A and B are shown apart, each in its own frame.
Chain A
Amino acid sequence: MSKTLLELINIVKHFPIKNNFYIPYISTSKTFIQAVDDVTLNISEGETLAVVGESGCGKTTIARIIMKFLKPTKGIIKFNNMDVSKIKGKNLKELRSNIQMVFQDPDSSLDPRIKIINSVKEPISELTNFSKSEIKQKVISSLKSVGLNDEFLYRYPNQLSGGQKQRVSIARAISLQPKLIILDEPTSALDVSVQAQILELLIDLQKKFNLSYIFITHNIAVAQYIADKIVVMYSGKIVEIGNVNQVMTHPRHPYTIALISSTPKPNPWKRKILKTEIIGEVPSAINPPSGCRFNNRCLYVEDICYSKIPKMIETDKNHLIACHFPEKTLNITKNLD
């Protein structure tokens, strides 16, 4: 068993909303967007953890909390067994060079007025004490490892295609040889042919540098392709967590089942999304339903689901779901696919 790299323990993040201008005299209670609620997960060295969920489920908020862009309302983050919130000064620089992030939109994550070499150089010169020529060598080598040669060094982002820009973002992230890279929907803005190239590149880089990935995506097929472990989130909460084989072949939470069966597959003989039974949409994070947050869309809902928040139950080794009735989905999963 490899070493645990990052641990999130009971992370909660609530964003306060300012009251309506006209009502502060009537109501004094503050409302919150409950973006992330009680999330516990961990990731080991060299492992890929996919965080899957629909928009508004809190995936990106988790990424931002890990990157220390946001401070969690409650909870502890441990990196290499150190509490991240207490790291300061020189150690913070070291932490930053160990955790890097690649963003969704390759257009807006590169400064249009800075040449590629300077974009990739920035984190190295900011966080380390290398000399100028060493830095340039590092830039060249990290661009090379993402498949871009020297001629791209002095180009501007507008001279690059979307896939090339995303390669530059990945080069910038790996230039410091981090242990963990957070990939926030890195391929959702790209065409499928380019997405395939980027996913292959990520798998190659992981083997080469023994990287850990937190791969945030809404596409469960991509998650299955790249991940070792899958976390399924719904409305700020984890509903299912397990190894990719377990979750994809025997999903146990009703939401995961709905998610898998509503993902289109390139197989016209087994059309299934026209048969999916899920209705409705993700509830608002301002007033999430009490009890289980999936209760208004769940097919197996009972009274207890409206009053009691389900706890995580281990249905199999390392396979946890948050549901009051794990036995109800036991037979359904056998018919899936």
Chain B
Amino acid sequence: MSLIEISNLSIIYKLGLQNIHAVQSLNLNIKKNELVAVVGESGCGKSTLALSIIGLLTTPPAQITNGKIIYKETNLLNLDNNQFLNFRGTEIAMIFQQPMTSLNPSYKIGEQIGEAIDIKEQRSDSSILSNKYETNQPDFKYSKNKFLFGNLLSLSNLKRVSNRKSFSELYKKEIVEILKLVRIPDPSEIVNRYPHELSGGMMQRVMIAMALSQKPSLLIADEPTTSLDVTTQAQILRLMKDLMNEIGTSILLITHDLSIAAEIADRINVMYGGQLIEESTIYDLFSKPLHPYTQSLLNCIPSGFKGEKIMKGIPGSVPLLHKIKNECQFAGRCSKVMPKCSESKPDYLSISKNHKVGCFLYE
């Protein structure tokens, strides 16, 4: 039973006259209490995928042209902005790459976590199940007014801003508890600090605390440790894995680093040029990588001493996604390229029960 099932998802960015095909007919599913990693180089569409799940793509320029995202029997793509509020945060939460820019610099840590808890409380009051698609928020059909008035006019938001300071008092116990959960030392003191007074690792812990205060079923972590030091990274990854076991969340980990995926993921999807090219359990992928791209990516990880192993790198650079070509995306850089690679697109085939690959070598 999958928690979330993405089928045939296609996303384009409309830039002037050009369309960038960032995600092309992608299928992905995540089961309950599973850690799934999506690995790929920059510009392969992995962040676009993450944002589309949590409904934060800026449209325009982005546009979802095709596909379904079924989350617990609801198609997230059919929801409008107000309906999505029931899912964002409470059901699906996200941690971003830059903890520094994700926190509001002008409010204290306690106030920001308190606000998250307050939203959770309000939502459970209005009971998500009974009026699943209705919220207490005034329904603004902002078509044009959105940019003029936007959230400012929303009364509950005005109230929230003025109340933000009181949240840290109101939910003091919960805030300290949640900070303890993410192993922040001396939590009652941290509550009264501003984001700039914390280190990068601490801020990322606060972000995780905010996400987890909602007890979401799915946590999307978009490169959560790229801006952190390795010793801090190890602590954050360990924390994520521990919390996953404690709370029972599923995690979608977006990363460019195969080693990080190897350390914590259960299943792994390799993405290239807006498509998945290989997916399998973590053990299968590292024992027998099938796609030439996965093989060369593994060969690019530095290991061994000087002169022991020669890394070739991958010649060329990632494809521009201006148009969908009827060929294998990797054909231009592949070392095992065949004539038919540039004539048609390989099918995405199951090789064994848990192993799929899109390459002509295995047809």
One of A199, A245, A278 near B234 (C-beta < 8 A): A278
Q: Shortest beta-carbon distance, B315 to chain A, in Å?
A: 8
- Taken together as a complex, chains A and B put the C-alpha atoms of A266 and B235 apart, in Å, by 18
Residue pairs across A and B with Cβ atoms less than 8 A apart, 19 shown, are A55-B229, A161-B317, A191-B41, A192-B258, A195-B302, A196-B312, A197-B313, A200-B313, A218-B229, A221-B303, A224-B302, A225-B305, A244-B305, A245-B305, A248-B305, A262-B234, A262-B235, A264-B260, A268-B283
Of A89-97, A269-277, A302-310, the one touching chain B: A269-277
Q: In the complex, which residue of chain A has the Cβ closest to the Cβ of B233?
A: A262
CB-CB under 8 A from B282, the residues of chain A are 268
CB-CB under 8 A from A43, the residues of chain B are none
Interface string of B284-327 (1 = CB under 8 A from A): 00100000000011111111111000111111011000000000
Interface string of A189-222 (1 = CB under 8 A from B): 0011111111110010000000000000011111
CB-CB under 8 A from A200, the residues of chain B are 310-313
Interface check B259, CB cutoff 8 A: yes
One of A191, A193, A197, A224 near B305 (C-beta < 8 A): A224
Q: In the complex, which residue of chain A has the Cβ closest to the Cβ of B260?
A: A264
CB-CB under 8 A from B259, the residues of chain A are 263-266
Interface check A117, CB cutoff 8 A: no
State whether A281 and B302 are in contact (beta carbons under 8 Å apart), knowing that A193-B314, A268-B262, A273-B238 are contacts in the complex. no
B313 and A218: CB pair below 8 A?
no
Interface string of B172-188 (1 = CB under 8 A from A): 00000000000001000
A221 and B302: CB pair below 8 A?
yes
A48 and B306: CB pair below 8 A?
yes
State whether A273 and B263 are in contact (beta carbons under 8 Å apart), knowing that A54-B230, A266-B286, A281-B202 are contacts in the complex. yes
| Other contacts beyond A196-B313, A218-B229: 12, CB < 8 A | A55-B229, A193-B314, A194-B313, A196-B300, A198-B313, A225-B304, A225-B305, A266-B259, A274-B264, A278-B234, A278-B235, A281-B202
CB-CB under 8 A from A163, the residues of chain B are 317
One of A55, A192, A271 near B256 (C-beta < 8 A): A192
Interface string of A82-113 (1 = CB under 8 A from B): 00000000000000000000000000000000
- Count A interface residues, CB 8 Å: 50
Q: Shortest beta-carbon distance, B58 to chain A, in Å?
A: 24
Q: Shortest beta-carbon distance, A277 to chain B, in Å?
A: 10
State whether A192 and B300 are in contact (beta carbons under 8 Å apart), knowing that A228-B306, A268-B282 are contacts in the complex. yes
Interface check A17, CB cutoff 8 A: no
CB-CB under 8 A from B311, the residues of chain A are 196, 199-200, 225
Residues of A participating in the B interface, judged by any CB pair closer than 8 Å: 48, 54-55, 161, 163, 191-200, 203, 218-222, 224-228, 244-245, 248, 258-259, 261-269, 271-274, 276, 278-282
Q: Which of B41, B230, B282 has the most CB of A within 10 A?
A: B230
State whether A282 and B229 are in contact (beta carbons under 8 Å apart), knowing that A265-B259, A266-B286 are contacts in the complex. yes
Residues of B participating in the A interface, judged by any CB pair closer than 8 Å: 41-42, 185, 199, 201-202, 229-235, 237-238, 241, 256-260, 262-264, 282-283, 286, 296-306, 310-315, 317-318
State whether A266 and B229 are in contact (beta carbons under 8 Å apart), knowing that A193-B296, A245-B305 are contacts in the complex. no
CB-CB under 8 A from B234, the residues of chain A are 261-262, 264, 273-274, 276, 278
A196 and B299: CB pair below 8 A?
yes
Q: Which of A194, A195, A281 has the most CB of B within 10 A?
A: A281
Q: In the complex, which residue of chain B has the Cβ closest to the Cβ of A271?
A: B263
CB-CB under 8 A from B299, the residues of chain A are 196
Q: In the complex, which residue of chain B has the Cβ closest to the Cβ of A264?
A: B259
A266 and B301: CB pair below 8 A?
yes
Q: In the complex, which residue of chain B has the Cβ closest to the Cβ of A276?
A: B234
B237 and A191: CB pair below 8 A?
no
- Taken together as a complex, chains A and B put the C-alpha atoms of A54 and B238 apart, in Å, by 19
CB-CB under 8 A from A198, the residues of chain B are 313
Q: In the complex, which residue of chain B has the Cβ closest to the Cβ of A190?
A: B42
CB-CB under 8 A from A220, the residues of chain B are 230
- Taken together as a complex, chains A and B put the C-alpha atoms of A258 and B229 apart, in Å, by 12
- Taken together as a complex, chains A and B put the C-alpha atoms of A269 and B237 apart, in Å, by 17
A268 and B231: CB pair below 8 A?
no
CB-CB under 8 A from A225, the residues of chain B are 302-306, 311
- Taken together as a complex, chains A and B put the C-alpha atoms of A248 and B304 apart, in Å, by 10
- Taken together as a complex, chains A and B put the C-alpha atoms of A163 and B298 apart, in Å, by 19
- Taken together as a complex, chains A and B put the C-alpha atoms of A191 and B46 apart, in Å, by 14
